[in-house]
């Protein structure tokens, strides 16, 4: 069974590209332009979350911190993805499992996903 990844990215083109890349690697992708999928996370049971930091309805690092504080979701790996300069610090404060800086290298994206799903 394919690993399930929630991808939350506010840029439609980037969301489509990431979804295509991950689906091509054999993952099941649940793409979204906002944080809506996180409200139903206990039902969707993702294996990984790729989370943009700048979202129309929240900040990725705040959502990540909330997920990591909840015993039900704390085990789910979360990778922040953004072009903000202080992404490493935001990821650390939010207890993210890692981060990917935009613009990103496709091979790096794939390797980070594989690393956190193994």
Overall size of the chain counted in residues = 118
Identify the H or E element spanning 28.
strand 28-32
Residue spans per domain, the chain: 4-117
Please check whether residue 82 is in contact with residue 76, taking contact to mean a CB–CB distance below 8 angstroms: no
The CATH number for 4-117, chosen from 3.40.50.720, 3.40.50.2300, 1.10.10.10, 3.20.20.70, is 3.40.50.2300
pLDDT in tens, 70-114: 999 999 999 999 999 999 999 999 999 999 999 999 999 999 999
Estimate the crossing angle of helix 12-24 against helix 106-117, to 10 degrees: 60
Helix/strand number for the chain, H first, E second: 5, 5
Band (pLDDT 50/70/90 cuts) for residue 1 is confident
Per-residue pLDDT tens over the stretch 24-47:
999 999 999 999 999 999 899 999
């Amino acid at each position: 069974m394919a690993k399930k990844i929630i991808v939350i990215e506010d840029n439609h083109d980037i969301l489509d590209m990431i979804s295509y890349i991950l689906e091509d690697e054999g993952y099941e992708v649940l793409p979204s332009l906002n944080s809506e999928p996180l409200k139903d996370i206990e039902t969707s049971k993702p294996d990984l979350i790729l989370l943009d930091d700048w979202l129309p309805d929240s900040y990725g690092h705040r959502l990540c911190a909330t997920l990591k504080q909840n015993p039900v979701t704390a085990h789910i790996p979360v990778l922040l993805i953004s072009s903000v300069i202080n992404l490493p610090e935001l990821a650390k404060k939010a207890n993210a499992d890692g981060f990917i800086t935009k613009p990103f290298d496709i091979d790096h994206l794939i390797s980070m996903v594989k690393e956190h799903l193994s």
